[in-house]
Structures are given as structure tokens and as C-alpha cells.
Amino acid sequence: MAELEQRGDRTPAPAKWEYASAPESREIVNLQERYGLFVGGEFIEPRSGEYYRTLDPSSEEPLAEIPQAGAEDVALAVSTARDAFEDGWSAAAPAERAKYLYRIARILQERSREFAVLESLNGGKPIRESRDVDLPLAAAHFFYYAGWADKLEYAFPHRRPKSLGVAGQIIPWNFPLLMLAWKIAPALAAGNTVVLKPAETTPLSALLFCDVLRQAELPPGVVNIITGDGATGAALVKSDVDKIAFTGSTEVGKAIQRELAGAGKKLTLELGGKAANIIFDDCALDQAVEGIVNGIYFNQGHVCCAGSRLLVQESIYEPLIEKLKRRLTTLRVGDPLDKNTDVGAINSRQQLEKIEELVAAGKEEGAEIYQPPCRLPEKGYWFIPTVFTNVAQSYRIAQEEIFGPVLSVLTFRTPDEAIEKANNTPYGLSAGVWTEKGSRILWMAQRLEAGVIWANTYNRFDPASPFGGYKESGFGREGGRHGLEPYLDFDGAEAFGG
Amino acid sequence: MAQAPALPTGFELPLEPRLPRIGSVDQVAVEARATDLSRRSIKREAKLFALDLAVRMMDLTTLEGADTPGKVAALASKAMRPDPSDASIPSVAAVCVYPNLVQTARERVGDSGVKVASVATAFPSGQSPTDLKVAEARRVVELGADEVDMVIDRGAFLAGRYAKVYDEIVQVKEAIGETHLKVILEVGELGTYDNVRRASLLAIAAGADFIKTSTGKLSSSATLPVTLVMLEAIRDVFEETGRRVGMKPAGGIRNAKQAVQTLVLVHETLGLDWLTPDLFRFGASSLLNDVLMQIRKEKTGKYQSPDYFTID
């Protein structure tokens, strides 16, 4: 009960109203002590003989032992995928492929609570997000690409689409299951087999997904999941695959591109970003504040398309920043499994150190820091939602991807200046525009160098909408009809004049 | 009270330079935000706290053509002692009635602390000449009302005659003096969130102590997004001027869960300061019994039959 604070003869307002904790139960998740590599439809021990521990980043509690796949393990997984491709999957009727994808989608929906809890447990993201965003979207991707599987000729008129063979896929730790869905669904719809490596810190949902594959009776070897660190990923890149799809840091993406130069393998890269979220003075202010918060504090800012650079029209700067600071005081940081948590744990110690290093740089360069009063748990990896004002375009916090809950605020005066500042970055993944003027949204969208542009919203995803970057944010598109193309070859492609 | 300043025919409100710009509301985003907040999980002591607060904030209402002294007397008794079997249940904030029943309500609540609120100004439509509306407001105060719930002239508002709407509020305020004034926007007739925001700021500028969503006579009334839009208008005025304006959602809030969701909205939009009957009320008739039932469930762990709660 709240203590009451007396104020004159009026009815006093309460001094506090603390929401009782409302944790989602962990019981639904059955963790094994030790996992194997999923190759040919079975969990097998790694030939490398090595294991590492995966943690709950909110408590640093070890969750399970995970195999560290070596080059030999990777080669086995790839040859298994190759056999599965040649022994039937490439010749299977397209409607058959669709059938499995629909099954997977349905099972993901049925088991969504289990997956959501596991995703929050292993990744640190709030259950509210894994429940309401990650899981529904992952299932939606499988549903969406199931629909394309037997309609590829219609997707690419006058071209003859043909599957590639084996796709090697490497995914990041920020949306483990959703990124898996983005990768596996189009690859299978296009008739390929897959070797996928989840991120080192978040392998558990991918390993639970193997159970879904078995439940769906997907033929063995069509999807293989191998776990490990960067060395495993490097081995997969070098292996006998026909295509590499990578989502992760720009640094690693560049290394992959160097490695594959001249190798004749197809490549798509979805890399970092430093997106401009642009606020014009005629926008709906309170909703823009929500969009800013959703843009940078969603998933602790571990989002490649996060709206990490806020460009505010100077005429609205003060009231907007006041509103934003006030809103930050209502963010609830803490236990990822609590249904009322808005911001969860940072994914790993390594990532926390990177955030801390860049924030220290921001302070040193002269930016003004704001952090709401906030009590963080003692164990685990945490960072308070942070806003930097007084940021110059030249500061590191305005240039480099922080990949954490840290917002850099800059100002502009005119639409031209907004474009100039927004595009002044090596990245080009996404951008946000907030204005009540429809014509200005279109004008901005034509000029912003970014693969995804949101108008009066932020961080919205749909499987039907292609996603991908300009410049150092990568190439290739995922999602939509465009997302099929990187997984297909085209016979006599342009000869038909399509 | 000063004469209302003359207004141009456009949308130039006589707002102080320091009042917030009128601005706009994004429908998709405001609905998404309200949905997000409605998913807060409020349990155990946090829930009990909210339910107790909801009782203390309630304007227990009957606004029917069939209202009689008997009906209103029963309602007033319920207002003072909502649950005779549980002494820890506080009395509600007010009873809200038609002008003809103000005296009955006044006599029954006595000096219990429960206020008497009366609707006025040709409730619910507001389609009467201004002088009659002002006279009606003055008269309900003479009859013993502590609070006046007036309606705005939606016909004038939708025709763009904002000055008329503004003038009427100013005149009613002048006529009732210190008596607490709640201004009903009837959001279900305003059509857009932008209009809700405009009408909110206009009513506040004209002197409203509270802004209130609805008459309860329409099916579309105090939804969470509408409430959020009005709370944000109140917040903007507070941040710009330091003036605290109250909020009263009315109509459509029928169960305890909706009441708790609404209080979460207030808490996370305006903060703890607004969690008092001085600045927040629920206008409702059937809500009270559901809240009482939930309180008893929280205390005993069991649901009891509705037969144990009085129907008044």
C-alpha cells in the first residue's frame, strides 16, 4: 500500500504505486544440460569435442553447454545438406515444400509461449517483446514464404527460377529466432537446403527449433543447425556452400566479402546501421516521442535499424527533449521475464563493454548525458537508457553504431539540412520521418539513402515488406518477393526480356 | 470574471503565449500506445491499491428519464457506504444526477463528504440557447450541487464556431463561481483524435476544472486512446503553465479491469499527482459493483456471488 503524502486540505495523492512483480513462468521451458549439433535430423556430438556455456545475461547464470563446431563438423553438416538437396529436396514438388513451411509456422504459433520465454531467458529481451513481436513475426515469415513456394514462376515472370543448392546462413544474437525465420523460410521456399549457425551467445531457440523441424517431419538434412563462435562461422563461409547469407556487424561482413571474392558463391549481407530518426516541428509530438523510444530502446537498442541518431527540427527541440526525458523516467528496466519490463538486459559482457566505451567517449567529446533515475539489478549485464544531447555530427556517438540503449540527439533547421545530415554516414539501413505533411514524407523518402524508411512510426516489420541496406549496411533484401531472389538462380535470365 | 476576448473565425484560440501549440494526434500511434499500456500486468497489492483508488474516484451516476427521488436516495446511500459488509471500503467521490434530483441527493449525502454533481446546460445535447444553459447551471448550484458537469455545444464546435463553444464555457464558469466545473466534450461526436485534443485545450483555456469524455448517452465513449489524448493535453497545459486540470472518463467503463487499465494510463502519463479524486474521476453506474467484487476477491481469494452486492 502506498504511503500518503499530505498536501493542504486536498485529498492527498499517493507517494508511490509499485506494480507487483508479474513474472512469466520459466517452467514451460525444458533445458537440457548439454546440446548436440543438429545434422541430418539428429543431435550429434561435435567431432571437435569442444563445448562452451551459454548464459542468462540477466543473471549470468549458466543455462546449458553448447557444442563448438569445428571445421570437420561444418564440413559434415554441409555435405549432409548437399545430400539432402540432391536426394530429393530439389526434386520435391513445390507444394510439398509449402506444406512443411506451413507446418513449421503452425507449430511455432502453438509453442509460442515456450519460445518466447526461452528467447527472453537466453537473450535478455523483455518477454513483452519476445511474446508480442519476435514470435508472431517469426511464424508470419514461415506462413508468408510457404505461400510463395509453389508460385516462384509467378514471382519472377519470364525468368526461370532454379534453386541454388546449399545455403550457409549466419545470424546475430539480437533477434535469434526471428533472424532464423528470415533466413530459413525463403531458403526452403526456393528449394534449397540449409546449414545455419546461430549466434554464439543465443543458440537455445535455434536448438529448440530443431524439435519443431522434427515435429513437422521435415526430411532429415534439409535444415542443419551448427553452433559455435566466429571460427565456426568462418569455417562455414569457407565451406562448400552455394550461398552465404550473413546478418551481423559491418566489420565481419567486410571480412566475409573479402573471403568470398571470386569464389563464385552468392552473398547477401545485412549489416550495421546508424539510422536517422527525423522529427519535424509539425509532427504529432507525443506520438513521435513514443516512436523515438520505440526506435532506440526497443530490444535494448540491439537493433541494426535502431533510430540511434535523432534529428530534431530546432524549433521543436526543447519541448520534445523535455517530453522525451519525462518519458524515459517511466521506462521499466529489469527482469526480462517480468511482463511489465520495458527494457531488459544487455546481451553479453562484451556488448556491455562496447556500449560503456562509446558512452565514455561521448562524455569526453563534450556531449551532455541524461539518464533517468533507475535501480539496476546487481547481477547480469545492464545499461540505463541514455540520451546524449549537444551532439556534433563529428562525435563518435554520432558516427559509430553503439548497438545499445543510447540515443544521440542532433538538430536541423530545414528539410534540406535534415537530408544532408541523415545521409552523412557510411551506413544506410533505415530512417524515420515524423511529420503531418504527406508530401514531405514522399519528398524525404526519395532523398534518404536508406533501405527502409518509416513514416510516423518506427521498427515496424512485415514479412511482405523487403528489408535491407544501402552502402555499408549491406546488400540483398530479405522479406517480400525480393527476399526470394538471393536464393534462386535464373536460367537465361534476361534473355526473355523480362 | 473578465469578458471573454473576441476571437477571429479561424482556429486562433485565445491561448496564452505560454500555452502549448495545439498540435495534432497520430491515430495509429496513439492507439498502439494505449494498447501497450493496457497490457501492464497489475496484480495483488498493486491491484488492490488501484481498486481502492477507483472507489474513491467514482462519480456514481444515474441519468435516466425514469430517475425518481427513491432511486437517487438509494444511490446516494450506496455512494456513502458502497459495501456495508466491509468497513474498509471508502465512500465514492460524488453522486452525479439530473438537476431535478439535486436536492434529494443533497439531503441524503448530508455532510458525509460525498459531493453532489449535477449535469447542466441542456444535457446531453447542449442544443439550447446560451442564456438558458447559463441559467440552468446557476440554478443547479442554488439547488445544492457542489459540481457542475456541463456539455459543450458540439454543433458549434463541428461547424468551426470555436468562439461560441469557448464563450459558453466562460459564461457558465462565471455563473457558478467557485463551484467545480467539469466540461463534457462528448468525444463520440467529435470524430477525430485531433478534435478531441482541440476541444480539450479549448475547454481548459476557457476555465474547465475537469475535462470529461462523454455523456454516457452514446455507444462510443471513454476508450483508452481517447482518455490518453485528453491526458496528454492536460500534461501539456501543466508543463507549460503549472496548472493542474482534472480528468473524468465517463461511459463505457464497466468493469474493474478497465478501471485499472485507465489508472495505469494516468499513472504513466501524468504521474502520481493525478491519482487523487481531486484530479481524476470515473463517471460510471455499473462499475462500482464489479470493483467491490474484485476487492473482495483479492482479499479473500474467492469470487462471491453478485447476490452479495447491493443493486441500487
Domain that holds residue A294: 276-462
**CATH number of residue B132's parent domain:** 3.20.20.70
Q: Is the pLDDT score of B302 beyond 60?
A: yes
Q: Facing residues of A311 across strands?
A: A278, A410
The verdict on residue B135 lying in a domain is yes
Per-residue pLDDT tens for A168-182? 999 999 999 999 999
| pLDDT for the residue B4 | 52
Do A259 and A280 lie in a common domain? no
Subunit contact B30:A286, Cβ cutoff 8 A: yes
Residues contacting residue A179 through CB under 8 Å, at least 6 positions apart: A171, A172, A247
User: Is B273 in CB contact (< 8 Å) with chain A?
Assistant: yes
The verdict on residue B250 lying in a domain is yes
ipTM: 0.88
Across the range B16-23, mean pLDDT stands at 59
The verdict on residue A398 lying in a domain is yes
Residues contacting residue A349 through CB under 8 Å, at least 6 positions apart: A381
Do A233 and A359 lie in a common domain? no
Per-residue pLDDT tens for A452-461? 999 999 999 9
Do A400 and A334 lie in a common domain? yes
Categorize the per-residue pLDDT at B16 as very low, low, confident or very high, splitting at 50, 70 and 90.
very low
| pLDDT for the residue B13 | 56
- Domain count of chain A? 2
The verdict on residue B20 lying in a domain is no
The full DSSP string for chain B is: -PPPPP--SSS-----TTSPP-----HHHHHHHHHHHHT----HHHHHHHHHHHHHTEEEE---TT--HHHHHHHHHHHH-S-TT-TTSPP-SEEEE-GGGHHHHHHHHTTSS-EEEEEESSTTT--S-HHHHHHHHHHHHHTT-SEEEEEP-HHHHHTT-HHHHHHHHHHHHHHHTTSEEEEE--GGGT-SHHHHHHHHHHHHHTT-SEEE---S-SSS---HHHHHHHHHHHHHHHHHH----EEE-BSS--SHHHHHHHHHHHHHHH-GGG-STTTB-EEESSHHHHHHHHHHHHHHSS---GGGS---
For chain B, percent of residues with pLDDT exceeding 90: 87
Do A214 and A355 lie in a common domain? no
Query: What residues of chain B lie within 8 A of the CB of A322, using their CB?
Result: 239
User: Is B44 in CB contact (< 8 Å) with chain A?
Assistant: yes
Per-residue pLDDT tens for A109-123? 999 999 999 999 999
Phi, psi of A4 (to 5 degrees): -105, 145
Contact (CB, 8 A) for B221 and B188: yes
pTM here?
0.92
Q: Residue B33 is nearest to which of A11, A290, A339, comparing CB atoms?
A: A290
Categorize the per-residue pLDDT at B251 as very low, low, confident or very high, splitting at 50, 70 and 90.
very high
Q: Is the pLDDT score of B18 beyond 50?
A: no
The verdict on residue A468 lying in a domain is no
State the angle between helix axes of A176-189 and A204-215 in degrees (0 to 180), rounded to the nearest 10: 40
**CATH number of residue A352's parent domain:** 3.40.309.10
Among B59, B83, B149, B290, the one annotated catalytic:
B149
Subunit contact B29:A330, Cβ cutoff 8 A: no
The verdict on residue B9 lying in a domain is no
